[in-house]
Amino acid sequence: MPGPMAAQPAPLRVAIVGLVHGHVEGLLSALPQHKDVELVGIADPDPALANKYAKKYALPRSLFFTRMETMMEARHPQAVLVYTSVGDHRKVIETAARYGVSVMVEKPLTISLEDALAIRKAARDHHIHVLVNYETTWYASNRAAYDEVESGRLGAIRRVVIHDGHQGPSEIGVPPEFLNWLTDPAQNGAGALYDFGCYGADLVTWLMHGEAPLTVTAVVNRDKPQLYPNVDDDATIVLAYPHAQAVIQASWNWPFGRKDMEVYGATGYAITVGSDRLRVRHEHDADEQVRTFAPLDGIDRDSLTYLHAVVTGFYTPFGDEPALESDDSHRLGMSKGELSSLDTNVVVMQILDAARESARTGRSVQLTKLEE
């Protein structure tokens, strides 16, 4: 006779803080497919937004709270998913840290290096994980490009060029509560420089194994001041490394949405096309090859799967405090998910903060090594 069936582990209890970030739609759409995750609370002060999402996603009114602290004390989540403005990330993370609860925020980590260092301190002091969700983290094409570099097939990296953006938030019709803070530098840090420059800074820092550049130089345009009077809508960031350069092109002026990356090494190149294709050529190849990849699997499948693995102790992100690692956790080195790690994203904020200053002054900014 077969033995009794093993009890299924309880799902991870997650809560949402903030409903003003349009990406919350993707999360609410994905939750029904994640039986290993249970939504136990939502905190947002705006009753109109609560009503909007309760109706659209058939969510019980008992899930909704106007204050984060009340929700935390009533529902005891194991992780918080943050959909506030970027300017509110630090406050939410520090609040979650006081409850000992790990956090995943939408990109970028925050609006300044000062805030990033304060977040890192809160995470260390309270032994929580802080993760950053980028759509491009879960692209099979980016993983394939990274593997080309790590295998040595491209030789040493010489140049990275990354393009990210779309026609503009107003043009693509983001909801008003999202547009309001995206176009407010106090709440978004900048315009396209932060909104899409963060993708490139994250990918380059990952490719460079966490190394910060020597200098950061940025130029921004305001090509549509009638739509975006207070922030840039086009940005180019140049990062200088000892033996390589990276060029990040972030824009609300592309004729279509795009997220792609070109990696040039001493002996070959790899160019991503969308989320699943890669153009590759090595030094002795007569022509380039185009490869198509299946979606990532395992813990790198999507943000909720990765969050579950981290919070439950199955996986510890590279660079996290040893105290967070359980005896049976699986360390995978520079996994795809390291794009989400706090260490990586502190460097991302160092780059973005310097890029904003460079654009303001018209001068390159030399970076100094951060204290650990």
Question: Interior CA angle at 172 toward 171 and 177, to 5°?
Answer: 95
Per-chain mean pLDDT for the chain: 93
Whether the per-residue pLDDT at 54 is higher than 50: the answer is yes
pLDDT bucket at 173, cuts 50 / 70 / 90: very high
Tokens standing for residue 95: 């609040």
Q: What pLDDT is recorded for position 317?
A: 82
Range in 198-207, 247-256, 300-309, 336-345 with the lowest mean pLDDT: 336-345
C-alpha 8/C-alpha 260 separation (Å) is 40
Neighbours of 47 (CB within 10 A): 11
C-alpha 241/C-alpha 225 separation (Å) is 34
Q: What pLDDT is recorded for position 324?
A: 41
Q: Residue 211 half-sphere exposure, CB side, CA atoms within 13 Å?
A: 14
Distance of CA 293 to the CA centre of its chain: 22
Distance of CA 275 to the CA centre of its chain: 15
Taking only the tens place, the pLDDT of each residue in 78-111 is 999 999 999 999 999 999 999 999 999 999 999 9
Average pLDDT of the residues in 32-49: 97
Residue 229, preceding bond cis, omega within 30 degrees? Answer: no
Q: DSSP 3-state assignment of 107?
A: coil
C-alpha 354/C-alpha 365 separation (Å) is 6
Q: DSSP 3-state assignment of 332?
A: coil
How buried is 32 (Cβ within 10 angstroms: 0-12 exposed, 13-18 middle, 19+ buried)? exposed
Q: In percent, how much of the chain has pLDDT > 70?
A: 92
Q: Answer for the pair 263, 148: CB distance below 8 angstroms, yes or no.
A: yes
Q: DSSP 3-state assignment of 308?
A: helix
Taking CA atoms, 300 is separated from 25, 68, 262, 317, 318, in Å, by 20, 29, 22, 12, 14
For the chain, which domains are there? 12-135+299-333 (3.40.50.720), 138-297+345-366 (3.30.360.10)
Q: What pLDDT is recorded for position 328?
A: 40
Q: Which of 164, 96, 105, 158 is nearest to 128 (CA)?
A: 96
Q: Residue 164 half-sphere exposure, CB side, CA atoms within 13 Å?
A: 23
Taking only the tens place, the pLDDT of each residue in 144-168 is 999 999 999 999 999 999 999 999 9
C-alpha 228/C-alpha 169 separation (Å) is 10
Q: Answer for the pair 225, 135: CB distance below 8 angstroms, yes or no.
A: no
Taking CA atoms, 323 is separated from 280, 313, 320, 329, 339, in Å, by 41, 11, 8, 12, 21
Whether the per-residue pLDDT at 66 is higher than 90: the answer is yes
Range in 4-18, 76-90, 214-228 with the lowest mean pLDDT: 4-18
Q: Answer for the pair 231, 168: CB distance below 8 angstroms, yes or no.
A: no
Q: Answer for the pair 253, 223: CB distance below 8 angstroms, yes or no.
A: yes
Question: What are the two backbone dihedrals, phi and then psi, of residue 368, each rounded to the nearest 5 degrees?
Answer: -110, 155
Contacts of 351 (CB under 8 A, 6+ apart): 201, 205, 212, 213, 216, 237, 239, 367
pTM of the complete model:
0.93
Q: What pLDDT is recorded for position 320?
A: 58
Question: What are the two backbone dihedrals, phi and then psi, of residue 110, each rounded to the nearest 5 degrees?
Answer: -165, -160
Q: What pLDDT is recorded for position 319?
A: 59
